[in-house]
Structure 1
């Protein structure tokens, strides 16, 4: 089921690839699951589908639009007409550990489908989504938001271009160093892993980094 749908970030927007051999109900459930896991993170992002029948496209479009995505079918044509006619998936090879791209917009999203080991770095002028852990010694620098689907124990800098509205979300948020915009917070020397629930970090009005339960309705949070 994990391979029924995959989401790739490109300079033109999100390209959602669908396995044509998967059952359509499985595809829909997998897409729902991915959208729910990143709830609110892709809001406002433009997207298109690859390898989807016209009859199925409308139902899948509606799922994405429920989460605030904007359908733009010409994304696929823009990708095909670009100098490199394929969607690159950074970090597919072990040696591709430092990613820099100065010609993308801060609304682009880079999807990393693996954990980041110590010594690996990502520098990206947009949002970054990691489908794994960020181990101690790894580093993420993003102009936009950072979403880690596992434990985040490395160094994370969201809003590195001065974006004070950037967010950091992780299933276990326990970074060695956390930066948002120009604000910085370090984990205490006796810090331990947090409980097994997602947390979100953001800046308060006085530029203090606040951490709270993700999707929690309680206004109060802990100070990083």
Structure 2
């Protein structure tokens, strides 16, 4: 009989291989049991997790994360797709971005840590942070994010974003699906020019790529995440 859950430690976090035939409530109990058995090993670890073996809805993924967080001292930072090459790049860059602290600026304290917002923002929602911000979800076109430090989105970024809100041009904005029409870094503003062409056959469903925006000599640069260096 196939095990309910197999826990594997990988470079980019923990991978849970899940039984595809078990009812989800039973599977959830088995996951909690497995993590409780391993809690002494992981202690107060902060990890990213990925899933395999069965298809999960976003709600089911969130239930698993909540169950682990509620029943153990393990802190789940984010959920990753189990793509070894892509996710390893994202993991390394995201870790560096979260740990990257903006330079001190007038009338503002230096951000010494990062805030984590888990879940997608709602339409029209405004999210503000006095430190670097990691969003584990999507930012829709009508949502707004304002951060004194960096803004990192593990999801689709389409809304308005301001990083370095107190004037810090060394802050960055990054997303695994980077597609904002307008954003600011410090005092530098970027507005994407919409090219309207009724003869264009470019697919509107093309998945946005993982990119990062930064400022150099007063100019905003947007590059693929894997090409960015610190």
What TM-score do you get using the length of structure 1 for normalisation? 0.54
Post-superposition offset of 1:126: 0.6
* Match status 1:108 vs 2:113: yes
Quick check: which one's helix share is greater?
A: 2
Partner of 2:62 in structure 1? none
Structure 2 CA distance, aligned partners of 1:194 and 1:143?
31
Post-superposition offset of 1:123: 1.6
Is the 1:119–1:137 contact (alpha carbons within 8 Å) kept by the matching residues of 2? yes
Root-mean-square deviation (Å):
3.8
Instruction: Give CA-to-partner distance per residue, 1:176-220, whole Å, 9 cap, x none.
Output: 21100100011222486764531110001x2111010112269xx
Partner of 1:89 in structure 2? none
Post-superposition offset of 1:155: 0.2
* Change over 3 Å in CA distance of 1:109–1:151 after alignment to 2: same
Of the candidates 134, 142, 150, which is equivalent to residue 139 of structure 2? Answer: 134
How many residues of Structure 1 are paired with residues of Structure 2 in the alignment? Answer: 147
Partner of 2:95 in structure 1? 39
Structure 2 CA distance, aligned partners of 1:175 and 1:140?
11
Is the 1:172–1:194 contact (alpha carbons within 8 Å) kept by the matching residues of 2? no
Is the 2:98–2:150 contact (alpha carbons within 8 Å) kept by the matching residues of 1? no
1:28-107 paired onto structure 2 within 5 Å? 31=47, 36=91, 38-43=94-99, 106-107=111-112
Post-superposition offset of 1:104: 7.2
Structure 1 CA distance, aligned partners of 2:212 and 2:184?
13
Secondary structure of 1:148's aligned partner: strand
Post-superposition offset of 1:20: 8.3
Partner of 1:15 in structure 2? none
* Change over 3 Å in CA distance of 1:110–1:148 after alignment to 2: same
Post-superposition offset of 1:134: 0.2
What TM-score do you get using the length of structure 2 for normalisation? 0.53
Is the 1:104–1:126 contact (alpha carbons within 8 Å) kept by the matching residues of 2? no
Partner of 1:207 in structure 2? 218
Larger radius of gyration: 2
* Match status 1:120 vs 2:120: no
Partner of 2:157 in structure 1? 152
Post-superposition offset of 1:24: 3.3
* Change over 3 Å in CA distance of 1:193–1:112 after alignment to 2: farther
Post-superposition offset of 1:44: 6.4
Instruction: Give CA-to-partner distance per residue, 1:44-97, whole Å, 9 cap, x none.
Output: 68xxxxxxxxxxxxxxxxxxxxxxxxxxxxxxxxxxxxxxxxxxxxxxxxxxxx
Unaligned runs of 5+ in 2: 1-6, 8-12, 15-31, 50-76, 79-90, 102-106, 197-203
Partner of 2:183 in structure 1? 178
Is the 1:172–1:193 contact (alpha carbons within 8 Å) kept by the matching residues of 2? no
